[in-house]
Amino acid sequence: MIPVEKAIELILKEIELLGLEKIDILSSLGRVAAENIYSNRDIPSFDNSAMDGYAVRFMDIQSASNDNVSVLNVIEDLPAGYTPNRAVNKGEAVRIMTGAPVPQGADTVVMVEDTEKEGDTVKIFRETKQGRNIRRAGEDVKAGELVISRGTPVRPAEIGMMASVGRSFVSVYQVPRVAILSTGDELVDVDGRLNGGKIISSNSYTLISQVKECIAVPIYLGIARDTKEEIKKKLKEGTHADIIISSGGVSVGDYDLVKDVLKEIGADIRFWKVAMRPGQPLAFGVIAGKPIFGLPGNPVSSMVSFEQFIRPSILKMSGFKHIFRPVIDAVLKEDIYQKPGRKRFLRSIVSLEDGKYYVRLTGEQGSGILMSMVRSNGLTIIPEDGAGFKAGEKVRVQLLDRDFELSKEPGYPL
Ligand code: AMP
Ligand code: MG
């Protein structure tokens, strides 16, 4: 039995980046950029108006006020998307819309609220600072500037920036294809017949979804009966993937065949059993350079083991640097007793009250209680030594999601 930390270290040592691929920017959301992107242009590429108003020469309006109205000849109407035909000379103005290029000669835009149109002239009632309401070429991005660096996770803003600099394709790190096999004579898929001790293979569904949550590609191998032949056949199919996962059949029962099969198909088993609860019987090996995980069958063990070991592996393979869930300190709302020896990942409900994190358990913590995962948003981590914690003490909690920080109301007064 090895400590969790050691298991993570042994696993991540085997995980390498996959190759790169060039994809459409709209497909790159949630992926990691594998190249530095420099702008080949100024953005904006020309001086343009930040307001609807009048492009003028500052000299002509500099002391304008209600008592000293400047009257200018309007020589042109300039919507966004068009270029001016004429320069602005002394005593002239161009009616200009937001985003339209500032004409030659003009150095200031007066907003429409400070003006009044009268025939071919405009009255200006208020002085504006020189250069006001003009967005300068390159004020967002300068030509040659690094706008996205290699290793950046791609969000909508990055996609918009790539589009802005004229990039329709981007190099990203490939994401792993992850083969998933469920083992057990008792298992049927969700619409299978539930007679004679059968149960639904919920792990198939949680594992596929956990892989998807990492933006990787699940390949479902189905359910293997508890025979070496069938497990072997299906696991071999899985070796075409980048990561192979099986669930069930990895403890010490008569029908726990996965570990033997792993050896028989040529996997080099690096460890079996981790000092944790849930999830102790975890087998990890390497086959043809690919990581292969034998997860325990209990639904909570399977999910928690995936979280601790497989999620970071997938994220590392996909080019992410920050591969671990956030861990916070929270004030415990109840006592926790601990039998020393194994690190525990207790399904927990984290809340934020007056700016402080609090945590309580979801109740029954058995490794078959899938509702404990449904109820939880975090895993309270109890170290293997020590006798547990008392209510009011601080504990470390790994956050599975941060939706508890979302709100029905905006965070500012309405
Ligand atoms: P095992 O690890 O094969 O000994 O299975 C441990 C427990 O988990 C047993 O009660 C199994 O029925 C259950 N189990 C195994 N595989 C799955 C699965 N794919 N979905 C839901 N429960 C499972
Ligand atoms: Mg089994």
CATH of the domain at 357: 2.40.340.10
Does the CB atom of residue 202 touch ligand 1 within 6 A? yes
Whether 249 and 118 map to the same domain: the answer is: no
Whether 232 and 246 map to the same domain: the answer is: yes
Decide the pairing of beta strands 37-38 and 146-148: antiparallel
In a domain, residue 226? The reply is yes
- The CA-atom distances, in angstroms, between 291 and each of 8, 86, 89, 194, 412 are 12, 68, 72, 33, 48
DSSP for residue 136: P
The three-state secondary structure class of 45 is coil
Identify residue 233 by its one-letter amino acid code.
Answer: K
How would you write the pLDDT of the chain (414 residues) with one tens digit per residue? Answer: 999 999 999 999 999 999 999 999 999 999 999 999 999 999 999 999 999 999 999 999 999 999 999 999 999 999 999 999 999 999 999 999 999 999 999 999 999 999 999 999 999 999 999 999 999 999 999 999 999 999 999 999 999 999 999 999 999 999 999 999 999 999 999 999 999 999 999 999 999 999 999 999 999 999 999 999 999 999 999 999 999 999 999 998 888 999 999 999 999 999 999 999 999 999 999 999 999 999 999 999 999 999 999 999 999 999 999 999 999 999 999 999 988 999 999 999 999 999 999 999 999 999 999 999 999 999 999 999 988 999 999 999 999 999 999 988 898 877
Does the CB atom of residue 203 touch ligand 1 within 6 A? yes
Contacts of 151 (CB under 8 A, 6+ apart): 32, 33, 319, 321
| Residue 203 contacts residue 247 (beta carbons within 8 Å) | yes
Tell me the best of 190, 203, 226 to mutate to test the pocket of ligand 1, counting ligand atoms within 8 Å of each CB and taking the most: 203
In a domain, residue 61? The reply is yes
Whether 38 and 153 map to the same domain: the answer is: yes
Does the CB atom of residue 294 touch ligand 1 within 6 A? no
In a domain, residue 192? The reply is yes
Three-state secondary structure of 81-109: CCCCCCCCCCCEEEEECCCCECCCCCCEE
Whether 193 and 226 map to the same domain: the answer is: yes
Does the CB atom of residue 280 touch ligand 1 within 6 A? no
pTM for the structure as a whole: 0.95
Whether 69 and 208 map to the same domain: the answer is: no
In a domain, residue 409? The reply is no
Residue closest by Cα to atom 14 of ligand 1: 297
Whether 206 and 333 map to the same domain: the answer is: no
- Taking the centre of ligand 1 as the mean of its atom positions, its distance from the CA of residue 187, in whole angstroms, is 8
- Taking the centre of ligand 2 as the mean of its atom positions, its distance from the CA of residue 113, in whole angstroms, is 75
CATH of the domain at 111: 2.170.190.11
- Taking the centre of ligand 2 as the mean of its atom positions, its distance from the CA of residue 401, in whole angstroms, is 30
Does the CB atom of residue 39 touch ligand 1 within 6 A? no
In a domain, residue 411? The reply is no
| Residue 388 contacts residue 382 (beta carbons within 8 Å) | yes
Joined together, the tokens standing for residue 351 give 């809340």
Angle, alpha carbons 216-222-225 (nearest 5°)? 140
Whether 163 and 191 map to the same domain: the answer is: no
Task: Quote the number of domains for the chain.
Answer: 4
In a domain, residue 412? The reply is no
CATH of the domain at 256: 3.40.980.10
Whether 33 and 63 map to the same domain: the answer is: no
Residues of the domain holding 70? 48-135
